[in-house]
Structure 1
Amino acid sequence: MTILGWEPRLTTLVTALTGEGHLRSKEWIDAFAATPRHLFTPDVFVTSANGYRRLSGDDPADRDEWLSLVYSDESLVTQDKPHAAGHILPTGEPLRVPTSSSTMPSLMARMLEALDVRDGMKILEIGTGTGYNAALLSHRVGDRNVISADIDPALVHHATKRLTDLGYTPTLIIGDGAAGAPEHGPYDRIITTAAIPEVPSAWIQQLKPGGKILGNLRGDLAGGTLCLLTHDNDGEVIGPILPIGGHFMWLRPDPADPHHPHEHTPTQRRWPSSRTTTPLSPADLPVDDEAFRFLLQLQLHGAQSLYRGRAFDPSTRRERDAVIATAHDGSRAEAFTEPEPEGAYQIVQSGPRRIFDTIEITRHLFNDLGRPGPDKFGVVANDSTQFVWFANDDGWYRWPLPLI
């Protein structure tokens, strides 16, 4: 199939990425300008009333819309699979969820610039996906220096063909990215386009002294945290969380299951509930503040959700506005935002932990620390311990990983 009209769109995209400061170095500008994104995204999925609608470059009716999307600064869903829990849409069809995507070009540009790549470096990419990023890396350092791993055989198969069509033959591996690729290491750089709750020890072991890991460290409350970790001579990686937002799909161990293991619904258990009050207004909690959510997931291990919604008040037998929080161990808190006549606010908690107590403590800590964003934190990881630190790595404040 011959696609017409993509060259000026690619030029416009690269010009925009450069003008907005996402691309800065000549080497990466040249790599993006030489890599047609449409070759790696022949089919994309866009949201519709019934889930996702497929757009294909093979369909003349879709082609203009498809090409506009491909050369926009947007993340593109490129593969989906049925939901592992078997959910069904009103149409009777299975609910499908994204399992692979092509990262927003501006985010990929910022990540590659931050990776500080130099000529001749050997790079391990975790999450081959479409193969687009492997093509960019191959252009920059030569395909013989690029190793890319993905758990999904179908993705690796298609990426291999697309890269070959463009003239690149990097080493592509089918396997769990958490294990890395020791047979091809050690590496100067490791970049992952799949989210991790902690740094896999295999990556640290396969990294050269002075090498760097760039990855998306995330939990379920706040996901846009990219950390850049440098390997010292003591078998440890350390570095900051960058002021670059980036949210990726989970690194997962099963190609047939689109979910990380922690996302599976646990067996429901009936927990007795406690009822308490607080003098502090739950409505004042910054539930939508990404910085607060990041700190909360450090404080509250296994935090699952935090939101404003409606909850059943057992004293009035009606639903009321509340701040609702849940954790993966079954803990739940509902803090009603309307005060009682005496001025206190009612809280209902259930499960193995009283998680609203931790939320209140975190609100005070968040203010005491100056309401810091994720880029005020960093990460240390070695074979025996991993933690997130605040302000500096030898300071008082630190929280153990993983985040889930």
Structure 2
Amino acid sequence: MTDDKMLRLHLAERLAASGHLRTAPWRVAVETVTRHEYLRGGFFDRVDGPGPTAWRPVMPDDPRWLARCYEDDSLVTQIAGTIVPRDIHGTIMRAPTSSRTMPSLVVRMLEDLCVEDGHRVQEIGSGYSTGLLSARLGDHLVTSKEVDRDVSVSTSVALGTGGYFPELVVGDGLAGHPDSAPYDRTIATCGVLDLPYAWVEQTKPGGFILATLCGWLYSSELARLTVGDDGTARGPFLGGQISFMLARPHLPPELGTLPDLDAADEQPTEIGAAVLDDWNTRFVAQLAAPRAQRFSLERNGRTEHVLLDVAAGAWAALAQDDRGAWTVRQGGPARLWDDIAAYVTRWRGDGAPALDRFEVTVTPAGQSVSWSKV
């Protein structure tokens, strides 16, 4: 038995033991598809230390490479939109823009997609998951769209090595691929702020759409929507604090020049910035301000927690006084923190339901999220 075959079997065993791998057909796929072929270009390992996060390349000639490919870990394959491991000697301190998702998350999502033999699947974002879908369903039933041409090419090579030749398309996945529609299932391996209505149009009535809904406060949840005969889609969050890199058109803008944070009077607030440390509360806050970004500043001897919606020009700056009470200053065309506090207060008044009691609805007019009282 080859080293990689043994690693695939061990990976399948670990994923089954953790409860992510639940059915025999997907287990066969995990035991068959060679994940390391999707990482032939190497990956970046995080370098822990003080200061900004640094990344160093790990290439196939590194003795750690093969075993790392079969660990249950997301492996960064691109930095800053264009930089790949072969470009770097030493370390780099820029933000990751592409990765091979951890196998447990990939498999959990594929299980949650509830495919059946003969289903045609549209995938947004190409990679290891494309190979698993091809192994499970047959490559003739898989269409995968990837925004990054280099990622699509490397995925195509890896798929071909395994004998899989699904339809691979380069372009904006948010538009889907209508040429091969309709699909029984649509799955996205990237996060989105709003689920595109194009995916609803391209998925058959009764079909599922599986996608991770996010905001720029970086709380996100996996949703499974069922497409209705009326051209809408709705469904619940599945729980588990799923996190993906955002689709590139949904990435937040640069903060740019900050507004004058002293241009408003300080007011008391019963809800302080500390509530945003909780995943569920932060998700609720995002519903009120999905395009607000959060950061901290040290000013005047205290920490200020700032939220800024660059496009709207709205901002809020929160801090604690000497007694630990929270205050807020707000500016711009909207009262950003007032909107967040109102949402959080209403959610708490309904019993602070867990996110699996929320429902997402997508219509031609847009997306809405609601919750059920406890």
Q: Same fold (TM over 0.5)?
A: yes
Match of 1:276 in 2: 266
Report Cα offsets for 1:159-182 as digits up to 9, x if no partner.
111111100110101111111111
Match of 1:125 in 2: 123
2:266 partner SS: strand
Give the corresponding residue for 2:46. Answer: 47
Distance 1:352 1:229 in 2: 34
**1:269: how far off?**
5.2
Note if 1:249 corresponds to 2:232: no
Q: What is the identity, as a one-letter code, of the residue corresponding to 2:265? A: R
Distance in structure 2 (CA, Å) of the matches to 1:203 and 1:45? 32
Rg comparison, structure with higher value: 1
Note the residue ranges of structure 2 that are not aligned, 5 or more in a row: 84-88
Structure 1 contact 228–242 (Cα < 8 Å) conserved: yes
Q: CA deviation at 1:92?
A: 12
Structure 2 partner of 1:326: 308
Instruction: Identify the residue that residue 184 of structure 1 maps to in structure 2.
Output: 180
Deviation string for 1:119-159 (max 9, x for gaps)? Answer: 0110011011xx21111000111000001011111111111
Residue 117 of structure 1 aligns to a residue whose secondary structure is coil
Stretches (4+) displaced over 4 A: 91-95, 266-272
Which 5+ residue runs of structure 1 have no aligned equivalent? 85-90, 254-259, 313-317, 393-404
Paired residue for 2:99? Answer: 101
The DSSP-based 3-state class of the residue aligned with 1:235 is coil
2:157 to 152, 157, 161: 161
- Determine if contact 1:216/1:223 at 8 Å carries over to the other structure: no
Task: Within 5 Å, give how 1:8-157 maps onto structure 2.
Answer: 8-42=6-40, 43-48=42-47, 51-57=54-60, 59=61, 62-63=62-63, 65-81=64-80, 95-128=93-126, 131-157=127-153
C-alpha distance after superposition, 1:177-210 (max 9, x if no partner) = 1111111111000000011111112111111111
Instruction: Provide the secondary structure at the position in 2 that maps to 1:238.
Output: strand
Answer whether contact 1:339 1:346 (CA < 8 A) is retained: no
What's the TM-score once normalised by structure 1's chain length? 0.82
- Of residues 323-332 and 267-276 in structure 1, the stretch that sits farther from structure 2 once superposed is 267-276
- Confirm or deny that 1:304 pairs with 2:303: no
Of stretches 270-279 and 205-214 in structure 1, the one that deviates more from structure 2 is 270-279
Tell me: CA distance 1:339–1:228, structure 2 relative to 1, closer, same or farther (3 Å): same
The one-letter code sitting in structure 1 at the alignment partner of 2:362 is A
Deviation at 1:106, TM superposition (A): 0.8
* Matching residue of 2:341: 360
Where does 1:373-388 land on structure 2 (aligned, <5 Å)? 373-388=354-369
Q: From 359, 371, 374, give the equivalent of 1:390.
A: 371
Percentage of pairs with the same residue: 35
Opposite residue 287 of structure 1, the aligned amino acid is L
Is this contact kept in 2: 1:310–1:319, CA < 8 A?
no
Q: How many residues align?
A: 362
For residue 338 of structure 1, report the CA deviation from its aligned partner.
2.3
- 2:314/2:331 contact within 8 Å kept: yes
Residue pair 2:220, 2:283 contacting (<8 A) in 1 also: no
Tell me how far apart the structure 2 counterparts of residues 250 and 281 of structure 1 sit (CA, whole Å).
28
Aligned residue type for 1:77: V
Contact 2:217/2:290 (CA < 8 Å) preserved in 1? no
Conserved in 2, the CA contact under 8 Å of 1:204 and 1:237?
A: yes
Native 8 Å contact 1:291 1:372 kept in 2: no
Aligned partners of 1:331 and 1:353 also within 8 Å = yes
Give how far 1:47 is off.
Answer: 1.4
**1:32 is paired with a residue of what secondary structure?**
helix
Deviations along 1:219-277, whole A, 9 cap, x unmatched?
11133311101111111111111113221112225xxxxxx454233565557722133
User: 1:352 Cα shift?
Assistant: 2.8
Please report the TM-score for the alignment, with normalisation by the length of structure 2.
0.88
1:375, CA displacement in angstroms? Answer: 1.7
